[in-house]
Amino acid sequence: MQAYMKSQMPYLGISTVPLRKICKEAFHQFPLNSFEEFRDTILVLWRNAKFREERYAAIELSGHNSYGGYQTLRMLPAYQEMITTGAWWDYVDPIAAHRLGGFLRRYSKQMGEKMRAWSKSKNVWLRRSAIICQLTFKENTDLNLLYDCIEPAIGEKEFFLRKAIGWALRQYAWTDSAEVIRYVKENQSRLSPLSIREALKNCASTPKSRQSETARIKKPKRDG
């Protein structure tokens, strides 16, 4: 597990299913009684972690159903810290898609402004988070926000940004593949081959009329 994740922090070797079972039992046994307890327990787990699973537990706790009332913008600084100090996809992606995504649904104006600001950050992981924060939104995706968050990274060589762009577009293609095809066609000279390939993966199973649109886009060369 440590080799696969290229992690300097060691693993205990607990896979996802038993980890979640352990977390569920512990969270039930030790309830948290205030916002401050909730936030601080997450951050203590995160900051003092000696093994990677301890940080996974912090992420699990952050999404526990018992504490939905604490999911307000007061938690955003904690999630920002976890994103910037975690600085790897296994930490960042669930926080971006589920915690930031949840905030965006509730606080669309404030979070839209924040995600646009993060998309221009010097920190790669904040930028990735801004791009993928709408992964679960389907027909509720704010395309203006998505494209605004992609734009600062569209010409970047950073793998995790290129992958994020393709992933975000691929997810939206389940809802409107024609729009993704249009966007890719319009921006194919600026998008990386990786982003294009990822974006169009879900377009292959669309009706023939849409497949013909895909065929008109020049097939990109493979990276490297």
Q: Which two tokens stand for residue 22?
A: 């352990």
Distance separating alpha carbons of residues 187 and 209, to the nearest angstrom = 21
Q: Does the CA dihedral 204-207-211-213 come out positive or negative?
A: negative
Per-residue pLDDT tens listing for the chain (224 residues): 888 888 889 999 999 999 999 999 999 999 999 999 999 999 999 999 999 999 999 999 999 999 999 999 999 999 999 999 999 999 999 999 999 999 999 999 999 999 999 999 999 999 999 999 999 999 999 999 999 999 999 999 999 999 999 999 999 999 999 999 999 999 999 999 999 999 999 886 544 334 434 444 444 343 33
Distance separating alpha carbons of residues 224 and 211, to the nearest angstrom = 27
| CATH 1.25.10.90 domain range(s) in the chain | 92-224
Distance separating alpha carbons of residues 46 and 190, to the nearest angstrom = 38
We find that the CATH architecture of domain 92-224 is Alpha Horseshoe (1.25)
Whether the CB-CB separation of 169 and 180 falls below 8 Å is answered with yes
What one-letter code names the amino acid at 213?
Answer: E
Q: What's the pLDDT score for residue 215?
A: 41
34: region left, alpha or beta (phi > 0 left; psi from -120 to 50 alpha): beta
Give pTM, 2 decimals. Answer: 0.89
Q: What's the pLDDT score for residue 202?
A: 86
CA–CA distance from 118 to each of 83, 152, 164, 184 (Å)?
A: 12, 10, 14, 23
Q: What's the pLDDT score for residue 211?
A: 41
C-beta atoms surrounding 34 within 10 Å? 9
Determine what percent of the chain falls in helix, strand and coil, rounding each to the nearest 5.
70, 0, 30
